[in-house]
Chain A
């Protein structure tokens, strides 16, 4: 049975949901050890130890790991991999930043954004913005994998009882320094884990109209708010709202696309949603080819009417 090291994504206090999907994927490969790297991570390690399916938790507690700088954490992981057969990280911005650096240090190919585990070294992954699915088999001695969160069920966050073991930290590389972050504050569900998403596109005109039209509907539905690239580029909403090939990949129960035409790059980020609802005035818009329920008409009258009737 393979020994698998899983990257625990956290914000210093809470284990992110993406980790739970990565654990499920890793458990399909073998025995799961979770790695918690950061500064002051006892709480995170305790939470990681409770994830069902994790048999051991390693903690690397050092200021050098505080913001998951790839230059510092990749050598740590590459060193640990001497004792493991695979490294699995969620395909979040952190996972995508760190994992390829680990793979290159180990001289192995990385398998990005897997959708399924087909065998000990065989996986499926999307290519061409999700327009094709490739089944690939690794010929490398060790595996480095990132996992698409929406493609795997989340492991139970409680019920496990893994032992926690502290490991020695490596030196700070001195190559990079974290200066700060601007994290958008939101009371809403996180986009990638929301059950319902209301997403707006270019047709929303401007930031105020976007907020006035989309926000009340999202509030009524208890939904997260997403956006197309056009809406982000036009400045209606911040970057991290973007759903698509180059933004976030989501697969909620219900995805409501308002004023979004449905370009292939956008569909790449949401076409695995369980139910897609589209509201658009152009009945030939490509979004209607993937929508389960479509409503053709002017969103500026339909959306407020819908919000009012919910």
Chain B
């Protein structure tokens, strides 16, 4: 079966984001960008399923600016077979991304769609669930372990309090949690090879999707700053402080 993986180009997770002084957003000019860490895990899982012979072809999809091509090339270098870039310079909300992915899924008919559980820029944690809803297919969110078993997939999910296991009828949508796997690094020869793998350029209009945002961002501000703390020299002083706080 075919697997579809979605990848997003986001600010690198090690960069501390800075809010623009005019409150219109976060400053992304000259900031290092990378593949969303959860999407790396999604790509890795698709590749492992291919290595097990469960998946036959991996299609990586990204919705974003021209530079998202680099993110797709990274997915190709890791082991995806081909890529689709849905080109737009606008900010695209999870619902619109889900509609685009649904349209691609209608064309490609994947048995599995694997997404990251959330993007570390908007922290929405919505897209995978929305794709599942639009396709009318089951969802295995926050996946910690997956195994395909005939025409279904067994997903161990990370939930509050522990883990739960569900069985989903294929085709299904999986969203990858942190501990699903350890993503591989793309080797130099594979990075070179990825340059010649097919990458199709599309637009949201090709899929008949309107990407007008439903949420208006009125402003973006800095979180409240914590007042400077103190350092205590020893445990006795810390204990005294704890007593002041009403503990111990």
- Chain A positions within 8 Å of B, measured between CB atoms, are 67, 69-71, 74, 92-94, 96-105, 107-113, 122, 126-140, 173-184, 192, 196, 220-221, 229, 232-233, 238-240, 245-246, 248, 253-254, 264-265, 271, 275-277, 283, 288, 290-296, 302, 305-306, 309-310
Q: Are B229 and A288 in contact (CB under 8 A)?
A: yes
Q: Are B95 and A104 in contact (CB under 8 A)?
A: yes
Q: Are B166 and A135 in contact (CB under 8 A)?
A: no
Known: A109-B93, A112-B125. A138 touches B220 (CB 8 A): no
**Which of B51-59, B156-164, B191-199 is near enough to bind chain A?**
B156-164
Q: Are B218 and A136 in contact (CB under 8 A)?
A: yes
Q: Are B167 and A181 in contact (CB under 8 A)?
A: no
Chain A's closest residue to B19 (CB) is A132
Q: Are B167 and A103 in contact (CB under 8 A)?
A: no
Q: Choose one: B13, B120, B160; the contact of A92 (CB below 8 Å).
A: B160
Q: Choose one: A127, A196, A306; the contact of B121 (CB below 8 Å).
A: A127
CA distance A54 to B16 in the complex (A): 41
Q: Are A137 and B223 in contact (CB under 8 A)?
A: no
CA distance A294 to B168 in the complex (A): 48
Q: Choose one: B177, B179, B231; the contact of A294 (CB below 8 Å).
A: B231
Known: A103-B130, A176-B168, A310-B242. A135 touches B223 (CB 8 A): no
Chain A residues in 8 Å Cβ range of B235: 295, 302, 305-306, 309
Chain B residues in 8 Å Cβ range of A136: 215-218
Q: Does B71 contact A (CB under 8 A)?
A: no
Q: Are B95 and A103 in contact (CB under 8 A)?
A: yes
Chain B's closest residue to A139 (CB) is B214
Q: Are A127 and B129 in contact (CB under 8 A)?
A: no
Chain B residues in 8 Å Cβ range of A100: 94, 124-130, 133
A-B complex: 3 closest residue pairs judged by Cβ atoms = A104-B133, A100-B129, A109-B214
Q: Choose one: A98, A179, A246; the contact of B178 (CB below 8 Å).
A: A246
Q: Are A128 and B215 in contact (CB under 8 A)?
A: no
Known: A100-B94, A288-B229. A137 touches B215 (CB 8 A): yes
Q: Are A240 and B123 in contact (CB under 8 A)?
A: no
A-B contact pairs, 10 of them (CB 8 A): A100-B125, A107-B95, A110-B95, A140-B214, A181-B165, A183-B161, A184-B162, A277-B238, A290-B229, A292-B226
Q: Give chain B's interface residue range (CB within 8 Å of chain A).
A: 35 or more
- Supply 10 further A-B pairs (C-beta < 8 A) apart from A105-B133, A110-B130: A69-B166, A70-B139, A101-B129, A109-B213, A176-B168, A178-B166, A183-B161, A239-B158, A271-B226, A292-B226
Instruction: Please report whether the interface of chain A is mostly helix, strand, loop or mixed according to DSSP.
Output: mixed
CA distance A290 to B129 in the complex (A): 35
Chain B's closest residue to A118 (CB) is B218
Known: A93-B158, A133-B220, A240-B160. A109 touches B94 (CB 8 A): yes
Q: Are A103 and B223 in contact (CB under 8 A)?
A: no
Known: A293-B241, A295-B231. A122 touches B218 (CB 8 A): yes
Q: Choose one: A94, A135, A275, A309; the contact of B236 (CB below 8 Å).
A: A309
Q: Are A70 and B129 in contact (CB under 8 A)?
A: yes
Q: B180 to nearest A CB, angstroms?
A: 11
Q: Are A293 and B162 in contact (CB under 8 A)?
A: no
Q: Are B179 and A137 in contact (CB under 8 A)?
A: no
Q: B174 to nearest A CB, angstroms?
A: 12
Chain A residues in 8 Å Cβ range of B129: 70, 96-101, 104
CA distance A65 to B143 in the complex (A): 21
Q: Does B6 contact A (CB under 8 A)?
A: no
Q: A15 to nearest B CB, angstroms?
A: 14
Chain B residues in 8 Å Cβ range of A74: 133
Q: Are A127 and B245 in contact (CB under 8 A)?
A: no
CA distance A138 to B118 in the complex (A): 21
Known: A109-B94, A309-B236. A239 touches B163 (CB 8 A): yes
Q: Are B133 and A101 in contact (CB under 8 A)?
A: yes
Chain B residues in 8 Å Cβ range of A174: 169
Contact residues, B143-165 vs A (CB, 8 A) = 144, 154, 157-165
Contact residues, B203-248 vs A (CB, 8 A) = 213-223, 226, 229-232, 234-236, 238-239, 241-242, 245, 247-248
CA distance A248 to B16 in the complex (A): 20
